[in-house]
Amino acid sequence: MIGRRLATTEEILVLVSPDSDEELRTVEQWGRSHDVPVHAVGVGEDIDPVYDPGTEYLGVTLGGDGTYLEGVRQFSPKQIPILGVNAGTLAFLASVSPGDLTDALEEAVRGTARIDQRQQLHVDAADVDCTGINDVMIEHVPPENPVDRKITRLEVFADEEFIGQYEGSGLAVSTPTGSTGISLSAGGPIHYPRNNESLQIVPLHTHRLGVRPLVVDAETTIRVVSAGPANLLVDGGRAQATLEEDATVTIEGAETPAFVVTTSYDDDFFTSVSEKLGWGVRDGNADVGSKRVRTRTQTREPPHEDVRSSARHVAKEAARAAGQPLRELHGQTESIEYKTDKSDIVTEADYKAENIITTVIESEFPDHGIRSEESVQRPSDGECEHTWLIDPLDGTGNFAHGNPNYSISIALLENDDPVVGVVYAPETDELFSAIAGDGATLNGNPLSTTDRTALDECMLLSGYDPDGTFLSHTYHEARGVRRLGSAALNLCYLAAGTVDAVWEYDTYPWDVAGGLVIARAAGATVTNADGQPYDPTAELDARNELIGSNGPLHETLLSHLSDADALRTATTGATD
């Protein structure tokens, strides 16, 4: 999940511990002043009665780490990002202080906070089937008779491979988030928890010096077989059971991570480790280190020298944020709910993506005009130098039928000249971007067009071709003609050199403005069918022909199109 998506927060769900009434009043007052409904649920109560699956939520926990863990348990399955406020005593997970609560909320809903994905684990054993964010402990049951055996024997497997037999008081299997708890106390390593997909197995009080902690990938299935009775605890007892002899515990990475909201008012991870666990690396200069880190955190976004650089940075974040709900809804296109009327899901997808993009842009560039395929969010008053053109879902037909060839297109116009372009393909995670005159990139790697000159060596892409003119006059001479169904992607693939030319019979400005900047920056030549430079703003509400090529091939293609037009005119005249 991308932090920018928080800019479209519609409601706040608050999980409240006892003695947090003052903090709750602060959240409710903030919600009223921002016209954001706030729903409060006490710890131990279920959020389902106030939860609406179609709403964009921010989850807030008020209390200590126990309240935060309860928030993870309830919010994570619903993919609700969590902001933890430390209204308790010592807390490691909930790290926003009550004094910074309103500032942290402002930062979150402005979309400038970060969302970190935290790996969770899933536990399946007798009487336990649950998810945890910290750890699983399997410990020996203390004997009633003091002379009976006081250690446990556990056989551990990674997938189908036998790791070995552990003898001692038990073992802990922890996530990176839980690595600073029981695992650390038992000699395990500290794991940086941000976007870290791993699990670690740490023996507790073993009787062999050579038994060391083991780190495995989160996709590894860990099986633990207990030779005798044992106690099983998940996240310090939030779920627990007594295991019988030869019982098997299965532990693996959970499919759904916890989405943790991190603001500039949170201590960063290593500051928390230093201050709360006495990390020796900062002894003698802990204060200096903390100040240095906090200053860097508060200016997390890289500085930009001009509007264009800043615009590309913001557009890339907005596109990635909008791509997430599109992926979610794209996976439902063949569900029973939508099979009878796919327009419903397309409408919802368009709305969600456009809402995220326009909200992010309005937040960062309040003086800019915005036009999109769906609506005019904020028209330019004639004095505005910058206008954004947005197509939140280019390739709606593909999207509706579960085809992955759809995209998000964002462009910035400067005095009606396209100068910044960003196109994102959510299903393939391809992020194309460019600033006019400054080169084009795909996921940070530079792009350039091909240099082929012979049509029989070239691959072409066609958009809508109503009477087959382009196809009939190029198919037999070219290496192939393909149709993907997204004009924005067509231009990006031209920029990437995976095709040599693109033909679009009719385009709207928001369809192609982003791809136009990218293609031109990569070296492409883009004109109309008469060979004049293509101007996406000539008629904002009209469709226009577009032909783009690698450059050397352009005159050949224009000649073919001219011949096709002449033939069509002659045929029409003869028919008349």
66 is in an annotated binding site: yes
Phi and psi based region of residue 411 (left: phi greater than 0; alpha: psi -120 to 50; beta: remaining): beta
The answer to whether the annotation marks 506 as part of a ligand binding site is no
Residue 393 annotated as binding site? yes
d(C-alpha 293, C-alpha 286), whole Å: 10
Q: How far is 168 from 424, CA to CA, in rounded Å?
A: 53
Buried b vs exposed e over 424-460: b needs ≥16 C-beta within 10 Å? bbbbeebbbbbbbeeebbbeeeebebbebeebeebbb
Residue 541 known to bind ligand: no
Rounded distance, CA 345 to CA 334, Å?
A: 10
**Token digits for 127?**
């009487």
Respond yes or no: is residue 65 known to be catalytic: yes
Q: Is 391 annotated for ligand binding?
A: yes
344 annotated as belonging to a binding site for a ligand: no
Q: Find out whether 123 and 250 touch, Cβ atoms under 8 Å.
A: yes
**CA–CA distances in Å: residue 444 to residues 3, 123, 423, 439, 539:** 20, 39, 13, 11, 33
Q: What is the C-alpha separation between 44 and 539, in angstroms, rounded?
A: 59
Burial class of residue 248, CB neighbours in 10 A (0-12, 13-18, 19+): middle
455 contacts 436 by C-beta, under 8 angstroms:
no
Q: Is 467 annotated as a binding residue?
A: no
The DSSP secondary-structure symbol of 499 reads -
Is 134 annotated in some ligand binding site? yes
Annotated binding residue 511 = yes
The active-site residue out of 19, 35, 48, 65 is 65
CA 441 to CA 435: how far, in whole Å?
10
214: left (phi over 0), alpha (psi -120 to 50) or beta: beta
* Token pair for 168: 């001692």
**Enclosing H/E stretch for 137:** strand 135-140
Annotated binding site for Mg(2+): 373, 391, 393-394, 511
Annotated binding site: 65-66, 134-135, 150, 373, 391, 393-394, 511
Catalytic residues: 65
Annotated binding site for NAD(+): 65-66, 134-135, 150
